[in-house]
Amino acid sequence: MVGDIRIGFSMHPRWAGDEGLEAFILPLRRSGLSLLEFELDDQQDDWPAFEPLMEAAFQMGLGLSFHAPYRSPHSLVGFAGRERSHIQGDYRPVLEIAETWARKSPACRTLVIHAAVAPEPASREALVADTLAFLAWVLEEYPNLQLALENNHPARQGEVKPGVELKDVLSMLAALGTPRLGACWDLGHDYLRQKGGAPTRKWLSKVVHIHVHDVDETGEDHFPLIFGRVPYERWLEAWKAQGGGGGVVLELKGKLLQNWSPARVEEALETSISRIKEVLL
């Protein structure tokens, strides 16, 4: 979906709850929402509700974007070696879902992917090789998808994690050298990595998709834009000024808001979407 900018929200059936999708989405659409992102993890709660929700969102005129599974038991480790066919079998059913939507509409063609991660003492080079081999396979097997390799959350203790530094994401993109593979800039992850430094022009020119969220005082991310820590205004403006296009998705963890009243959640979501819209549209 490079070209136009669409503001999105990371959707899970729980958000729609008993009220249904239309009631949940209406105030967000008024605030500027035109895209929903779905994590294609077939092991997560409520997975059977995901595809009907995608269909309902599309019928309402929304674009769709997708996030490849990355949580255990899903993993890319070993793709460049003996795990290749096993991982292909694991990912094929969900990647087919994204490809089918991408064939239907260019507003549904972006798939976000994280680089392979493993516990120490894994080899960083081997994880990069696994990631590149996986990306090459997806590019070939699913020709309608626009891939977006995400800058990862900084490594936690004991993790070997390529793709945290933006230059490492750029070098993986360069290794495959196709416009069908760009970057997903996760602003919260980038803030955790390096606070508020300005991105390079090179990076901005490769960004085809963005995840926006805020970070609390303990470093927990995926909150609505309530703390003012992540400099999303400055960063989104820089991206837009350089001709950036694609989805800009408010990516939240609902679990963090479990103890909030429904009214407070609704207000935080609407305000976050409106702020993104003020900067971009």
Tell me the closest approach of the beta carbon of residue 174 to Zn ion, in angstroms.
22
Six token digits for residue 174: 């360069």
Tell me the closest approach of the beta carbon of residue 19 to Zn ion, in angstroms.
26
Residue in the shown chain whose Cβ atom is closest to Zn ion = 211
Cis peptide leading into residue 179 (ω within 30°): no
Show contacts with Zn ion in window 53-112 (CB under 5 A).
none
- Which of 193-201, 223-231, 233-241, 250-258 is the region at the interface with Zn ion (rule: CB under 5 A)? 250-258
Binding-residue total with Zn ion (CB under 5 A): 3
The residue among 214 and 251 lying less far from Zn ion, judged by its C-beta, is 251
The residue among 210 and 238 lying less far from Zn ion, judged by its C-beta, is 210
- Which of 47-55, 80-88, 113-121, 179-187 is the region at the interface with Zn ion (rule: CB under 5 A)? 179-187
Tell me the closest approach of the beta carbon of residue 75 to Zn ion, in angstroms.
17
The helix/strand/coil state of 260 is coil
Kindly write down the DSSP assignment for every residue of 184-251, as one continuous string. Answer: EEEHHHHHHHHTTPPPPHHHHHHEEEEEE-B--TTS---B-S-S--S-HHHHHHHHHHTT--EEEEE-
Show contacts with Zn ion in window 214-243 (CB under 5 A).
none
The kind and range of the H/E element at 63 are strand 63-67
Contact indicator for 280, 31 with CB cutoff of 8 Å: no
Under rule CB under 5 A, residue 211 binds Zn ion: yes
> Where does residue 74 rank: exposed (0-12), middle (13-18), buried (19+ CB within 10 A)?
middle
Q: Residues 9-48: x/- map of binding to Zn ion (CB under 5 A)?
A: ----------------------------------------
Amino acid, single-letter form, for residue 217: E
Under rule CB under 5 A, residue 186 binds Zn ion: yes
Contacts of 264 (CB under 8 A, 6+ apart): none
Tell me the closest approach of the beta carbon of residue 189 to Zn ion, in angstroms.
6
Query: Between 166-176 and 124-141, two packed helices, what is the crossing angle to 10 degrees?
Result: 50
- Rounded to whole angstroms, the Cα distance separating 93 from 245 reads 29
Tell me the closest approach of the beta carbon of residue 251 to Zn ion, in angstroms.
5
Tell me the closest approach of the beta carbon of residue 183 to Zn ion, in angstroms.
12
Under rule CB under 5 A, residue 209 binds Zn ion: no
- Which of 5-13, 86-94, 230-238, 247-255 is the region at the interface with Zn ion (rule: CB under 5 A)? 247-255
Six token digits for residue 270: 């609407």
Tell me the closest approach of the beta carbon of residue 15 to Zn ion, in angstroms.
17
Under rule CB under 5 A, residue 161 binds Zn ion: no
Residues forming the site for Zn ion (CB under 5 A): 186, 211, 251
